[in-house]
Amino acid sequence: MKAELIAVGTEILTGQIVNTNAQFLSEQMAQIGIDVYFQTVVGDNAERLLSILDIAKKRSDLIILCGGLGPTEDDLTKQTLAQFLNRELVTDLSAKQRLDEFFSHRPSSSRTPNNERQAQIIEGSTALQNRTGLAVGGLSTVDGTTYVVLPGPPGELKPMVREELLPLLDSGKKLYSRVLRFFGMGESQLVTLLDDLIQTQTDPTLAPYAKTGEVTLRLSTKAKSQREATLKLDQFESKILEREPLSQLFYAYGDDTSLSEVVVNLLKANNKTITAAESLTAGLFQASLADISGASQIFSGGFVTYSMEEKSKMLGINIEDLAEHGVVSSFTAQAMAEGAREKIGADFAISLTGVAGPEELEGQAVGTVFIALASVNGTEILQLSLGGRSRSTIRRVAVLHALNLVRQTLLKS
């Protein structure tokens, strides 16, 4: 089913209020397997609303209108939809009773003829009762298209959707999703690699999202049960991961899983410890480990050695060698990692040194980064060019590369 949302209200167009109803309705529709293809905002104008309805009818199976159900002259949604459908407006008795009860405790002068509009529905509609307000909603199906009218205030719309509308629309299928996380490839590369799947997708579907230093894929399917969804998503995931080098770049599932969490858990599982010596990142790598619960089991401490003198003093590196090779060099990265591992006695030691900017250093361009990983098997060195990014982004992406280097090494052991 193709759904379309139409928000009615000049105050949305002028920026006086934010259309939060659209986000809520899209989420609710997705949960019951209905795709929202279009969202439109139109002012309190009958002629323009009629033109939007004419367009929506040609492209959508379900049209949901929210707002414009109040008692004032500019509340014209139901009247305009009734005109569009060539139907009359009739009074819903339950809504009328609620209106009577509401005004029974108020002076008779406070009730005006316009209030009666709030109890009206389009002839032939199923009424959607409003337990938190006075304006009744409605659902009509005409010539194969379903029209829904809802009140604008979120405090009225949300309960009506959950309690009245969703039970009528729920087809028995729900939307199930799975998020795959990849490190080491940009969004454009991933999209190119999966272009044929993206172009021919029906169900399941996939959507890529770029994040700092990584990319995620959200796989989604409509199914009647978790078991059915799992089977469909497993098959789709296999098609994706069989494409090299995605199986090597995939590192975790979930919206919130981080590389640091994966690394900490791998170190725990392998009963290994780690330390770090940081220059470029000034402790960001160590902080990323400490953010994870239980990190003390695998990390007891490390070093932040920004200056050449502190690298020599804290890590035992000959200062003449540092001066000869430069702070931004593979030599210094290796010496930092090996010195840190010797001082702490950890199974692994990572080091990061480089140029975050804004200016080059020692003749090295902004974004030049050296990372070393020392272990009992020797020291591996990774050189990166992360130029074209801000200073803070270079440092954050460097930490992600360092974490990924540890992850890859642990998976090989």
pLDDT of residue 109: 67
Whether 38 and 5 have beta carbons less than 8 Å apart is answered as yes
Question: 144: how many CB neighbours lie within 10 A of its CB?
Answer: 7
Instruction: Report the helix count and the strand count for the chain, using DSSP H and E.
Output: 17, 17
83-118: burial string, b at 16+ Cβ within 10 Å, e else? bbbebebeebeebeebbeeeeeeeeeeebeeebebb
Q: pTM higher than 0.85, yes or no? A: no
Cβ neighbours of residue 339 under 8 Å, at least 6 residues apart? 277, 314, 315, 316, 317
pLDDT band at 7 (very low <50, low <70, confident <90, very high): very high
What one-character-per-residue DSSP string does 148-175 give?
EEE-SSHHHHHHHIIIIIHHHH--S-EE
Model confidence at 189: pLDDT above 80: yes
Burial of 30 per CB tally in 10 Å (0-12, 13-18, 19+): middle
Phi and psi at 209, nearest 5°, equal: -135, 125
pLDDT digits (tens, 9 = 90+) for 64-112: 999 999 888 888 999 999 999 999 999 999 999 999 998 888 887 678 8
pLDDT digits (tens, 9 = 90+) for 379-394: 999 999 999 999 999 9
Question: 243: how many CB neighbours lie within 10 A of its CB?
Answer: 12
Strands 137-142 and 145-150: antiparallel
Count CA atoms within 13 Å of residue 131 on its CB side: 7
Rounded Cα distance between 269 and 251, Å, is 16
Q: What is the CA radius of gyration of the chain?
A: 30
Q: What is the mean pLDDT of residues 360-373?
A: 96
Whether 37 and 25 have beta carbons less than 8 Å apart is answered as no
Rounded Cα distance between 334 and 222, Å, is 51
**Six token digits for residue 162:** 């959950």
C-alpha distances in angstroms, 45 versus 9, 14, 80, 82, 106? 9, 14, 9, 15, 32
C-alpha distances in angstroms, 361 versus 209, 225, 277, 307, 309? 34, 58, 19, 13, 17
Percent of the chain with pLDDT over 90: 86
Round the average pLDDT of the chain to a whole number and report it. Answer: 94
**Six token digits for residue 299:** 């990390």
Model confidence at 317: pLDDT above 90: yes
Rounded Cα distance between 168 and 54, Å, is 24
**Six token digits for residue 46:** 């009958």
**Six token digits for residue 183:** 């490190």
Percent of the chain with pLDDT over 70: 100
How far separated are the first and last CA of the chain, in Å rounded? 50
DSSP letter, residue 320 = H
Evaluated on CA atoms 20, 212, 185, 236, the torsion sign reads: negative
Model confidence at 157: pLDDT above 80: yes
pLDDT of residue 228: 96
Between 112 and 320, the more confident residue is 320
Cβ neighbours of residue 334 under 8 Å, at least 6 residues apart? 351, 372, 374, 379, 381
Question: 211: how many CB neighbours lie within 10 A of its CB?
Answer: 12
Residue from 386, 399, 382, 409 nearest 260 by CA: 399
pLDDT digits (tens, 9 = 90+) for 202-254: 899 999 998 888 999 999 998 989 999 999 999 999 999 999 999 999 999 99
pLDDT digits (tens, 9 = 90+) for 245-282: 999 999 999 988 999 999 999 999 999 999 999 999 99
Model confidence at 25: pLDDT above 70: yes
Model confidence at 180: pLDDT above 70: yes
Whether 43 and 75 have beta carbons less than 8 Å apart is answered as no
Helices 308-315 and 330-344 pack at an angle, to 10 degrees, of 30
